[in-house]
């Protein structure tokens, strides 16, 4: 049985005090039966974990290194993440790929390390506007999956499909476009040996309270990775869809 997951990626937003205030309010109004995961910035993780004690809301981080320790200024390890109280880690988000030289190969190393340490990796894939207009969507996502998940036994992986052209632009893939790609992802990982019917596949890209219900009605969409709306009151509408 696939788990429905609503995740909020705060990116570089909310200080520790702002996180604490927002999450206390969020948890008091949340009625969702789905798994809810919050990805705050590193310095707000402790405040988020504390604010969510006694609730079912999970906390994750937005990135991690694939080594256990070393001279990697500005990075954090899986052990550090686990000790902070987090359970999830975002891997391969399009902004990490675009601005910080993340590759399919480093996605693979990070995913393997997360699984080895007992973290749940939420692996992001997606095409940009140029790739979609050139009809390369399936080629791009197929490559990202085949390299990013190479050598990984069927395990506790969550996959998030985020069309880059729909992130923070106000443009959203239609329900049918999102479903088409999520179905392709499921078929691709099934061919790779994963128990595809047990793996949650999320959609991300300008998800709002006004479109979450129709997205969640699609047969291969098991949740949402929410960006801008996760920072606002609308996130309550999303998780209580």
Q: Which pLDDT band, with edges at 50, 70 and 90, does 214 fall under?
A: very high
pLDDT in tens, 161-174: 999 887 766 677 89
Q: What is the pLDDT of residues 114-148, one digit of tens each?
A: 999 999 999 999 999 889 889 999 999 999 999 99
Catalytically annotated residues: 93, 162
Q: How far is CA 50 from CA 23, 58, 172, in A?
A: 10, 11, 34
Give the count of beta carbons closer than 10 Å to the beta carbon of residue 192: 14
All structural domains of the chain: 5-239 (3.20.20.70)
pTM beyond cutoff 0.85: yes
């Amino acid at each position: 049985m696939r788990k429905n997951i609503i995740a909020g990626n705060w990116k570089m937003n909310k200080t520790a005090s702002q996180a604490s205030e927002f999450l206390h309010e969020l948890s008091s109004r949340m009625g969702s039966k789905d798994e809810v995961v919050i990805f705050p910035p590193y310095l707000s993780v402790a405040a988020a974990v504390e604010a969510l004690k006694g609730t079912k809301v999970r906390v994750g981080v937005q990135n991690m290194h694939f080594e256990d320790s070393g001279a990697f200024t500005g990075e954090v390890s899986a052990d550090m993440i686990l000790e902070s109280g987090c359970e999830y880690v975002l891997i391969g988000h399009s902004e990490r790929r675009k601005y910080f030289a993340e590759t399919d190969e480093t996605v693979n190393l990070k995913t393997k390390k997360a699984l080895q340490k007992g973290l749940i990796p939420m692996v992001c894939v997606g095409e940009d506007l140029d790739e979609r207009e050139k009809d390369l969507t399936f080629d791009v996502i197929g490559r990202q999956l085949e390299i990013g998940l190479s050598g990984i036994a069927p395990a506790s992986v969550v996959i998030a499909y985020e069309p880059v052209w729909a992130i923070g632009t106000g443009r959203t893939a239609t329900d049918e476009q999102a479903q088409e790609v999520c179905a392709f992802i499921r078929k691709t990982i099934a061919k790779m040996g994963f128990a595809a019917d047990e793996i949650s596949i999320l959609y991300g890209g300008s998800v709002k309270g006004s479109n979450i219900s129709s997205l969640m009605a699609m047969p291969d969409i098991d949740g949402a990775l929410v960006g801008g709306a996760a920072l606002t009151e609308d996130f309550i509408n999303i998780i209580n869809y």
